[in-house]
Amino acid sequence: MKALINHQSIRIDNHRRGTGQPSNWDDASADIHVDKRTNRRFGGKQVKVIIKLPINSDSEPTFEIRNSPNQSFKRTLTKEINDALRDKEKRNRFTKELVDIIKNYNSVMSEREKAQLAVKRIARALDLEDEIFREMRTYINDELLSFTTIHREGARFYFISLEQAQIRVGELDGPFVLRFIYRITRPGTT
């Protein structure tokens, strides 16, 4: 599943695509939609991919690639996504973890320890190291608003961020690594 975030990031939210309405997670037609973006721009634009992962049926995942600079890049992304989603057991584990976290999002965000457990579950579901290298928390009126962690695997860095009604996960590469890690470790941030 890690291939989903290789030099890219994904965003998962808790509403139906296009409507903004809350999802009914028990509906047979429900799916998790994952918005995937490349970290690098091509022709001034990020390549975007919309992935739909069925959660209550045996349907296969579907995806749509937008802003691809050429057919070769589109084929590369298609292979990458197909490879990442091929293992049905891993894919089901990933969607199960996400649905469980999203269904209980208010509870997950009620305290730091629960948010830590949630990001570790997401990391394991994506085949990332679940050990937290750095973390950053944002509070408003003593309420946890966002919780972001950095996970390190050798020279590569990944982030998992729980923010309001969405989860963002991605690889930090290039200049993003230094900027992001500096933001987390500078004095006065926790």
Mean pLDDT by 10 residues, the chain (190 residues): 83 62 60 76 77 76 83 86 86 85 86 94 90 90 91 89 85 63 46
Whether 70 is in a domain gets the answer yes
Whether 65 is in a domain gets the answer yes
Do 132 and 113 meet the contact criterion of CB atoms below 8 Å apart? no
Whether 47 is in a domain gets the answer yes
Structural domain including 106 reads 2-185
pTM score, whole prediction: 0.81
Q: Give the integer Cα–Cα distance in Å for 94 and 116.
A: 17
Whether 152 is in a domain gets the answer yes
DSSP state of 23: P
Half-sphere exposure of 182 (CA within 13 A, CB side): 5
Whether 66 is in a domain gets the answer yes
Number of structural domains in the chain: 1
Whether 190 is in a domain gets the answer no
Whether 94 is in a domain gets the answer yes
- Determine the pLDDT at residue 179: 53
Whether 87 is in a domain gets the answer yes
- Determine the pLDDT at residue 147: 94
- Determine the pLDDT at residue 90: 86
